[in-house]
Chain A
Amino acid sequence: MSKTPVTFRLNGEDAAAFADPGSNLLDFLRRAVGDLSPKYGCGQGTCGACTVLIDGEPHLSCITLAETVTGREVRTAGGLANGPILDRLQEAFIDKFAAQCGYCTPGMLMAATALLDKNANPSRQDVIDAIGGNICRCTGYEPIVDAILEASRNTRGAA
């Protein structure tokens, strides 16, 4: 079977690569495009480690067909920072010790990004709902929720 060319925008830049037939967006991004920031945790859409934004909406890339992003805008944790300047969410995760092993962090960041893009002033419950599909096994969720709230209060680096 032949591979399918997929052209799309990744973190604000044009991107193109060949997708294996039936391959999911997670494998496509990691292996074909080379963006390693989304992580494999379950492959069945339950852990959230592979969360990316497609046209601003959080999607689980492990259960998204690669071809479906053709012509669309994909954002990953690898594109959050502007060069050496970190995003306010990244800064807040650092300050609040919101990661231990770091494996769930890219997915958490993208779920939080989607929230803050829509709701600049979320309540604690809004934050909890937003990361409700993301599993963390190390830090517990409190520091992560604290970090996202902190980022929402901090306009530094906000677009």
Chain B
Amino acid sequence: MAVEFRKDLFADERDDSFDQIGQPRVRQDIEGHVTGRSPFFDDHLFDGLLHVRCVRSPHHHARIRSIDASDAERMEGVVRLIWPRDIPRNMNTLLSLINFGRDDEPLLAERKTAYVGEPVLAVIATSVQAAQRAVAAVRVDWEVLPHVLDVEEALTPDAPVVNDEYPNNTFDYHDRYDHQKLRFGDPEAALARADHVVEGTYQMSPIEQAPVETCGAIAAPETNNRIVCYTSTQALFFSIGVTGKLLEIPSSRLHFIGGTVGGGFGGKVDSHHEPIAVLASLLTGKPVKYMWDRAEEMQAGAPRSGERWRIKDGVMNDGRIVARIFTGFFDAGAYTRLTSYGVQKCTGHLPGPYTIPNVASNIFCVYTNRTPSTAMRGFGITGVDFAIECHMDKVAERVGMDPIELRILNAYRDGDMKAHRRLAKNCALIESCQVVAQKADWRLSPDAMAQSSLAGGGTDWRAAIPETVTDDEGKIGERRRSGLAPDPFAGTGQRGRVAAGTFSDHPATGNAPQRDDMIAEASRLGFKVDTGAPSAPMPQAERPVAPPAPPPAAPPPPTAPHGSQGAPTLPSAYSEAPPAPTPTVTPPAPPPAPASTAPEPEPYRPEQPFQRGVKRPGVSRFISGSRRR
């Protein structure tokens, strides 16, 4: 049985009172802030501190023929250079630490650069000025390559290849798909029935996080063969992991100190400064600071990705939206960073906070010769929300309806089934709309004012997973790289169908598949999940457990042009053996019923310090101490 985390796991630790809201609170770190004593990374002084500046590409896309740094190396104040060959493993992708995506980005580019500002060589010098002078004296022989800056141009067959690891200029989802799909119901059929079809295209710009403290790190030799690193990072364990991987040194040698961040907003996740600072310190044996100046922060710092959206709605005369189809393009820039993940976040968010029975989306994570994009304040969500809300206004105009009432009519209500096959809970859009209208003196009809998120949701079709069409639409969705397994649904010329009620983890129809060992199992956790207290019905309960779900009305084996895979080969999510007897069969076991294989809980020994993971009886093992109140 899968576990619903959050409230269930931490039920005995949560206090759901909202009495803190609206009350003035004193930040625990505020005294350091107002006295100027908060220890930001740059507030650590070292004698003989060295500084790093990078030689950066002035071109969108260029091959490096040669680099002549002989003059720079001899300049006053220059200690040494860091070449790509000095980096033990000069290829990484940020999310490789969670096994998502392939290594695609060098710390210092060796053969070619793919965006303006990409670093190719680092100079370590006794002052920032000396480093800057040396950087200016480095001569790089560039062979300028054709570049592409537009997401849809990047998907044309003759577009230049931005990132050699992804020669289609798209991230490969699950190593097989050039985009992330969501399918729910039959949007095309619903569009045909709709009174109106409303289409719109929306474009969001990249946005720089622009923290007042620029990104940076100071690394210095410490005792016991360790390196201490003070860093502005927002993601200390990413930084340690990335540094350890690129430099091939165990994390036990890395003493990273962070936590005081002068504004991050997502831009301090990428972990580029720490590896360079630590490597420079290892190479020189001295304390080294690598901190961007403002120009570097703005030029080379990774922004939120630009997004382009096409939305097509089917709407009835009464304002009910019956179908919504998205095509989205996320501009990853030259390297993946976190954009691949942003696309998945976005897919889970569609179609916005509205109950629409037929939804489809194809979202592409596209490589272009722009600055790589990364996390930024709700990335993957806020961009598409802007598009959705603009589109709602357009729909309201078309059907001649008040735009707020249109939102209330279509809003999620508690118990509704969302397109990614989770039930909507704790909905508040209706109430938010009503309050906004009141505050703006916007007159709503009595009917709209009487609506509630608590009423009307979860009834018949609203709570159901519809029969879902899987399609082979769109030439752009075909994979252009040969040698890959054929898409299970492509090229058949016939639509597949997934039975109504199927809870699908397949990427073509629902959520990304989750590896079995990553699904939290109650038995494996040994946690008291099934306390007998009835909780809200979970989508999982609707998964037909026995017998295996019927395969979709299998299309006759077509004369498949590629591959021997005729009929769609369904992933294990459809046919996996039903899990062992459901917990309801088991008699209500006394307290936590761990799996029989789980070791006996260790007796509580108060005299011993806590180990990783608390083992006291009755205490969640996911916290390592008492919660701060």
Chain A interface (Cβ < 8 Å from any Cβ of B):
20, 22, 30-31, 34-44, 46-47, 49, 76-78, 80-81, 86, 89-90, 93-97, 99-106, 109, 135-138
Q: A43-B293, A93-B30, A95-B24 are in contact. Are A37 and B42 (CB under 8 A)?
A: no
Hey, which chain B residues are within 8 Å of A47, CB to CB? 212, 294
Contact (Cβ within 8 A) B213 A39:
yes
The chain B residue sitting closest to A102, CB to CB, is B33
Residue of A35, A41, A89, A102 contacting most chain B CB atoms (<10 Å): A102
Contact (Cβ within 8 A) B35 A136:
no
Q: Report the interface size for chain B: residues with CB under 8 A from the other chain.
A: 34
Contact (Cβ within 8 A) B40 A39:
yes
The chain A residue sitting closest to B265, CB to CB, is A137
Contact (Cβ within 8 A) A94 B30:
yes
The answer to whether B27 has its CB under 8 Å from any CB of chain A is: yes
Q: With contacts defined as CB atoms under 8 Å apart, how many contacts are there between chain A and chain B in the complex?
A: 110
Hey, which chain A residues are within 8 Å of B209, CB to CB? 137
The chain A residue sitting closest to B261, CB to CB, is A101
The chain B residue sitting closest to A137, CB to CB, is B263
Contact (Cβ within 8 A) B127 A136:
no
| Least Cβ–Cβ distance between A17 and chain B, in angstroms | 13
The answer to whether B452 has its CB under 8 Å from any CB of chain A is: no
A78 to B30, CA, bound (A): 14
Hey, which chain B residues are within 8 Å of A20, CB to CB? 127
Hey, which chain A residues are within 8 Å of B27, CB to CB? 94, 97, 99-100
Hey, which chain A residues are within 8 Å of B210, CB to CB? 137
Contact (Cβ within 8 A) A78 B37:
yes
Hey, which chain A residues are within 8 Å of B518, CB to CB? none
| Least Cβ–Cβ distance between A12 and chain B, in angstroms | 16
Hey, which chain B residues are within 8 Å of A76, CB to CB? 36
| Least Cβ–Cβ distance between B300 and chain A, in angstroms | 15
The answer to whether B43 has its CB under 8 Å from any CB of chain A is: yes
Contact (Cβ within 8 A) A101 B262:
yes
The chain A residue sitting closest to B209, CB to CB, is A137
A144 to B35, CA, bound (A): 15
A37 to B294, CA, bound (A): 19
Contact (Cβ within 8 A) A137 B36:
no
Hey, which chain A residues are within 8 Å of B38, CB to CB? 102
Q: A20-B127, A31-B45, A102-B32 are in contact. Are A39 and B26 (CB under 8 A)?
A: no
Contact (Cβ within 8 A) A135 B34:
no
Q: A94-B26, A102-B29, A136-B212 are in contact. Are A37 and B265 (CB under 8 A)?
A: no
Hey, which chain B residues are within 8 Å of A94, CB to CB? 26-27, 30-31, 34
Hey, which chain B residues are within 8 Å of A46, CB to CB? 294
The answer to whether B214 has its CB under 8 Å from any CB of chain A is: yes
Hey, which chain B residues are within 8 Å of A49, CB to CB? 212-213
Contact (Cβ within 8 A) B33 A99:
yes
| Least Cβ–Cβ distance between A111 and chain B, in angstroms | 14
**Residue in A40, A81, A100 whose beta carbon sits within 8 Å of that of B35 in the complex:** A81
A111 to B261, CA, bound (A): 22
The chain B residue sitting closest to A47, CB to CB, is B212
The chain B residue sitting closest to A103, CB to CB, is B262
Residue of B27, B34, B43, B209 contacting most chain A CB atoms (<10 Å): B34
A44 to B296, CA, bound (A): 13
Chain B interface (Cβ < 8 Å from any Cβ of A):
24-27, 29-38, 40, 42-43, 45, 127, 129, 209-214, 261-265, 291, 293-294
Between-chain CB contacts (< 8 Å), 17 pairs: A36-B43, A38-B36, A39-B42, A41-B214, A41-B294, A47-B212, A49-B212, A86-B31, A90-B35, A94-B26, A94-B30, A95-B26, A99-B27, A101-B211, A103-B262, A104-B212, A137-B263
The chain B residue sitting closest to A147, CB to CB, is B34
Further 14 A-B residue pairs, CB within 8 A, beyond A102-B38, A103-B262? A22-B129, A31-B45, A34-B45, A35-B36, A38-B36, A39-B42, A41-B294, A43-B293, A81-B35, A90-B34, A101-B33, A101-B213, A101-B262, A102-B32
Hey, which chain A residues are within 8 Å of B43, CB to CB? 36
A152 to B104, CA, bound (A): 55
Contact (Cβ within 8 A) B35 A103:
no
Hey, which chain A residues are within 8 Å of B42, CB to CB? 30, 39-40
| Least Cβ–Cβ distance between B111 and chain A, in angstroms | 33
| Least Cβ–Cβ distance between B449 and chain A, in angstroms | 30
| Least Cβ–Cβ distance between B389 and chain A, in angstroms | 22
Contact (Cβ within 8 A) B35 A77:
yes
A31 to B47, CA, bound (A): 9
A93 to B45, CA, bound (A): 27
| Least Cβ–Cβ distance between B129 and chain A, in angstroms | 8
A113 to B498, CA, bound (A): 68
The chain A residue sitting closest to B210, CB to CB, is A137
Contact (Cβ within 8 A) B34 A105:
yes
Contact (Cβ within 8 A) A78 B263:
no
A40 to B265, CA, bound (A): 18
Residue of A37, A46, A105, A109 contacting most chain B CB atoms (<10 Å): A105
Contact (Cβ within 8 A) A44 B294:
yes
A62 to B421, CA, bound (A): 54
| Least Cβ–Cβ distance between A3 and chain B, in angstroms | 12
Q: Which 3 A-B pairs have the closest CB atoms?
A: A37-B36, A102-B33, A103-B262
Hey, which chain A residues are within 8 Å of B35, CB to CB? 37, 77-78, 80-81, 86, 90
| Least Cβ–Cβ distance between B285 and chain A, in angstroms | 21
**Residue in B24, B36, B263, B293 whose beta carbon sits within 8 Å of that of A101 in the complex:** B263
| Least Cβ–Cβ distance between B261 and chain A, in angstroms | 6
Contact (Cβ within 8 A) A42 B294:
yes
| Least Cβ–Cβ distance between A93 and chain B, in angstroms | 5
Q: A101-B263, A138-B263 are in contact. Are A41 and B37 (CB under 8 A)?
A: no
A80 to B37, CA, bound (A): 12
Hey, which chain B residues are within 8 Å of A39, CB to CB? 40, 42, 212-213, 262
The chain A residue sitting closest to B25, CB to CB, is A97
The chain B residue sitting closest to A80, CB to CB, is B35
| Least Cβ–Cβ distance between A43 and chain B, in angstroms | 6
A93 to B29, CA, bound (A): 12
A78 to B33, CA, bound (A): 10
Hey, which chain A residues are within 8 Å of B25, CB to CB? 97
| Least Cβ–Cβ distance between A86 and chain B, in angstroms | 7
| Least Cβ–Cβ distance between B84 and chain A, in angstroms | 28
A90 to B293, CA, bound (A): 29
Hey, which chain B residues are within 8 Å of A35, CB to CB? 36
A101 to B129, CA, bound (A): 29
Hey, which chain B residues are within 8 Å of A86, CB to CB? 31, 34-35
Q: A31-B45, A36-B36, A86-B35 are in contact. Are A102 and B30 (CB under 8 A)?
A: yes
Contact (Cβ within 8 A) B293 A97:
no
**Residue in A22, A78, A89, A137 whose beta carbon sits within 8 Å of that of B212 in the complex:** A137
Hey, which chain B residues are within 8 Å of A109, CB to CB? 34
| Least Cβ–Cβ distance between A135 and chain B, in angstroms | 6
Hey, which chain B residues are within 8 Å of A37, CB to CB? 35-37
| Least Cβ–Cβ distance between A63 and chain B, in angstroms | 12
The chain A residue sitting closest to B216, CB to CB, is A40
A127 to B214, CA, bound (A): 27
Hey, which chain A residues are within 8 Å of B262, CB to CB? 39, 101-103
